[in-house]
Amino acid sequence: MQFTLTISTLCIILIFTWRFLGSYITAVYTNKINYLRAAERLIFKALNIDQFGEQSWQRYTLSLVVFSIVSIFITYALLRLQGGLFLNPQHLAGVTPALSFNTAVSFVTNTNWQNYAGETTMSYLSQMVSLSVQQFVSPAVGMCVAVVLIRGIARRESKTVGNFWVDLVRGVLYIFLPLAIVSGIIFVSQGAVQTLAGPILIKNSLTHFSQTIPRGPVAFMEAIKELGTNGGGFFNANGSHPFENPTGTTNLLSIVLMLSIPVALTYTFGKMVGNIKQGFILLLTMAILFAGCLGLALYGESHGSIAISSSHVSQTISGNMEGKEVRFGTSNSALYNIASTQTSTGSVNSANDSYTPLGTTALISGMMLGEVSPGGVGSGLYTILLFAIIAVFIAGLMVGRTPELLGKKIQAKEVKLAGLAILIMPITVLVFTGIAVAIHAGQSGAFNRGPQGFTEILYAYTSQANNNGSALAGLNGNTDFYNITGAIAMMLGRFAVILPTTALAGSLALKKTVPNSLGTFKTDNLLFGGLLTGTIVLVGGLTFFPALALGPIVQSLSHKVF
């Protein structure tokens, strides 16, 4: 009952953010609002760019890639040098090269995979200027790609797709900073810490127990961590740490923040292409996939784990509590982790590795289906549009016309680019997992035995290639092998998808728009929603079914401990 209320509240809030945040985002990227024009003007002057000058897709992509590479370098340098810099109350040393590289790539690609424990590895300065900054910038870059693709579909016979610098700056200024400040205040009011004072030593006079409690500027990092679907927490325990996610309110707020922009972007899409119903159908598709995964996870977690039930401890009331916090219980834990794995956030409020096989299947499925339900900030929308192009092409042929998406003909070039973009993720996951399970450096990373160990490795690359960042955290990832292969997987999952996507946007923008008629294959109805869902499930399912069979599926069928 309480959980039903939580879900209902979540839905109501999301409907509002869909409608209003969606149209606000539209206003941001169509230059309809400019209340921060003073700040903008200063920045554009410093960059020496004309706010209204547009770029071709090639130029736009080049700017994006160069900016991302520079960001990786700066993040890397700051991590390496943190030992000699200020705001380091624990006097932590510089981060090792392989870990710095992995972490820099991880935060710039919006993955936030963490092969480290934040409280004992990163100085306050690193958390703030190295990691948090990328939590603002990397989702804004994702938004840029989504907006470019939307423009490509919306525009006719246009050679330009917008200006990267303008889109990036406006995204950070108008969307991420204001929303993060407001939500940061809520986090801190609920008990998330926000201080520059170092760890504190406490001594319990009742038990004479003493402990050192690490603290830091957490609450406001938490806000942007969730809002930007980043997921990289201040502490090792991430969203299960009481200082990051202290109450039921912050738990729901986190979920709302993760989902709100990806959900709202479907409205933005509909608005910008002039067909809000189309945006709604995308949202519906996302919702169906989300609900499916959530249902599976809730079912799995409420039925408890084999290890506990075989120890004759009844789990009927609480469900599988291993790795979960009492203040959330299994339902709110499953909801949070599903929201996080389906949005490319990757933060967790409970231990993924200790989920039941069905729960694990649900968590990993969100990613294996391409992170589209609703996916990361920006990336969710552009990825689902890539699937839409494939769905339109296959099904569109069945109406007897060259397939069109919103009046844009889908031809060889579009199929090639969309196909390429969709290929990258599964190939990256399967190839890297294949290598890791075959060699010692990879095998030794697995923490659990049996199929779960395999799942840990499979999950790691699935998460990184999808820029999610969650983990079956038993895996020991801080080795040269995992740091480097992981970084490559993250870069492929990000840039090897972005490149064909912006090329696709450029190609679509150049096209004429075919006018609608009764002979047009409608993409804004339930039938298409069903087809799109089917395409996503089929592509993801067919690609990963054998791998899943060797992991969670066999675990759930066998009822054994390994």
Partner 1 sequence: MLLQIRRSLILCFIFIFLCGIAYPLIGTGIAQTFFHYQANGEITKNGSYLIGQNWTGPKWFQGRPESDNAMASGPSNLGSSSKQLKTSVQQSASKLKREGIQPTPDLVTTSGSGLDPDISPQDAYAQVNAVSKYNHLPIQTVLSLVKSEIQQPQLGFLGSQYINVLKLNTALYKLEQSKNR
Partner 2 sequence: MKTNVITPPSESNAQIQSRKGIIGGTNLFDRKIILSSLKTSVFKLDFRVQIKNPVMFVVLVGTVITFVESIAHPSLFTWTITGWLLLTVLFANFAEALAEGRGKAQAQALRKMRSETDARRMLPNGTEESVPASQLLKGDIVICEAHDIIPSDGEIIEGVASVDESAITGESAPVIRESGGDRSAVTGGTRVLSDRIVIKITAEKGHTFLDKMINLVEGANRQKTPNEIALTILLAVLTIIFLPVVVSLEPFGLYAHSAVSITILIALLVCLIPTTIGALLSAIGIAGIDRLVQRNVLAMSGRAVEAAGDVQTLLLDKTGTITLGNRMASQLIPVGNHNELELAEVAQLASLADETPEGRSIVILAKQLHNLRERNINKDHTFVPFSAMTRMSGLDIDGKQLRKGAAQATKDWCVELGGIIPPNLDAVVERISKQGGTPLVVADGPDILGVIGLKDVVKEGIKERFDQLRAAGIKTIMITGDNPLTAAAIAQEAGIDEYLAEATPETKMNLIKSEQAEGKLVAMTGDGTNDAPALAQADVGVAMNSGTNAAKEAGNMVDLDSNPTKLIEVVTVGKQMLITRGALTTFSIANDAAKYFAIIPALFSKTYPDLNGLNIMRLHSPQSAITSAVIFNALVIVALIPLALKGVKWRASSATSTLRRNVFIYGIGGFITPFIFIKLIDLVVTGIGRI
Q: Which of residues 61-100 bind partner 2 (CB under 8 A)?
A: none
Hey, how many other C-beta atoms are within 10 angstroms of the C-beta on 446?
21
Contacting residue, 7, 423, 484, 488, with partner 2 by CB under 8 A? 423
Asked if 198 touches partner 1 (CB under 8 A), the answer is: no
Residue 56 sits at φ, ψ, to 5 deg, of: -70, 165
Q: Considering only residues 493 through 512, tell me which ones interact with partner 2, judged by CB under 8 A.
A: 512
The DSSP code sequence of 236-272 is TTGGGSTTTS-SHHHHHHHHHHHHHHHHHHHHHHHHH
C-alpha span between 126 and 41 (Å, rounded)? 29
For residue 138, the SS3 value is: helix
Pick from partner 1, partner 2, none: which does 306 bind, CB < 5 to 8 A by kind? Answer: partner 1
Peptide linkage before 97 cis (omega within 30 of 0) = no
Pick from partner 2, partner 1, none: which does 56 bind, CB < 5 to 8 A by kind? Answer: none
Asked if 113 touches partner 1 (CB under 8 A), the answer is: no
**By CB under 8 A, which span of 38-46, 159-167, 326-334, 425-433 interacts with partner 2?**
425-433
Residue closer to partner 2, measured from CB, 222 or 371: 371
Residue closer to partner 1, measured from CB, 148 or 282: 148
CB of 277 to partner 2, least distance (A): 14
Pick from partner 2, partner 1, none: which does 545 bind, CB < 5 to 8 A by kind? Answer: partner 2
Contacting residue, 167, 226, 353, 404, with partner 1 by CB under 8 A? 353
CB of 172 to partner 2, least distance (A): 35
CB of 16 to partner 1, least distance (A): 17
| Structure tokens, 305 | 């784990």
Asked if 440 touches partner 2 (CB under 8 A), the answer is: no
CA distances from 256 to 120, 259, 437 (A): 29, 5, 37
CB of 542 to partner 2, least distance (A): 5
Strand partners, 408: 405
Residue closer to partner 2, measured from CB, 85 or 514: 514
Asked if 364 touches partner 1 (CB under 8 A), the answer is: no
Asked if 401 touches partner 2 (CB under 8 A), the answer is: yes
Contacting residue, 27, 129, 307, 394, with partner 2 by CB under 8 A? 394
Pick from partner 1, partner 2, none: which does 12 bind, CB < 5 to 8 A by kind? Answer: none
Asked if 304 touches partner 1 (CB under 8 A), the answer is: yes
Place of tokens 């709302």: 256
**By CB under 8 A, which span of 123-131, 282-290, 375-383, 534-542 interacts with partner 1?**
123-131
CA-atom Rg of the chain in angstroms: 23
Residue 114 sits at φ, ψ, to 5 deg, of: -125, 110
Asked if 516 touches partner 1 (CB under 8 A), the answer is: no
For 371, residues 6+ apart whose C-beta sits below 8 A from its C-beta are 342, 343, 344, 379, 380, 383, 466, 467, 468
Pick from partner 1, partner 2, none: which does 295 bind, CB < 5 to 8 A by kind? Answer: none
| Structure tokens, 257 | 């923040």
C-alpha span between 144 and 150 (Å, rounded)? 10
Q: Which helix (H) or strand (E) holds 408?
A: strand 408-409
Can you say whether the dihedral through the CA atoms of 57, 58, 59, 64 is positive or negative?
positive
CB of 224 to partner 1, least distance (A): 8
Q: Which helix (H) or strand (E) holds 56?
A: strand 55-56
Q: Considering only residues 146 through 165, tell me which ones interact with partner 1, judged by CB under 8 A.
A: 165
- Give the distance between the most distant pair of CA atoms in the chain: 80
Q: Check residue 459 and give left, alpha or beta (phi > 0: left; psi -120 to 50: alpha).
A: alpha
Q: Considering only residues 373 through 392, tell me which ones interact with partner 2, judged by CB under 8 A.
A: 390
Asked if 194 touches partner 1 (CB under 8 A), the answer is: yes
For 340, residues 6+ apart whose C-beta sits below 8 A from its C-beta are 231, 239, 258, 346, 347, 348, 468, 470
Site string for partner 1, 376-405 (x = CB under 8 A): ------------------------------
Q: Where are the beta strands (DSSP E) in 163-242?
A: 200-203, 210-213
Q: Considering only residues 47 through 86, tell me which ones interact with partner 1, judged by CB under 8 A.
A: 47-49, 62-63, 66-67, 69-71, 74
The DSSP code sequence of 447-491 is -S-THHHHHHHHHHHHHHHTT-----TTS---SHHHHHHHHHHHH
Residue closer to partner 2, measured from CB, 107 or 544: 544
Q: Between β-strands 200-203 and 210-213, what pairing exists: parallel, antiparallel or unpaired?
A: antiparallel
Asked if 139 touches partner 1 (CB under 8 A), the answer is: no
Interface positions with partner 2 (CB under 8 A)? 390, 393-402, 407, 410-412, 414-416, 419-420, 422-423, 426-427, 430-431, 433-435, 437-438, 443, 451, 454, 512-515, 517-522, 525, 527, 531, 534, 538-539, 541-547, 549-550, 553-554, 557-558, 560
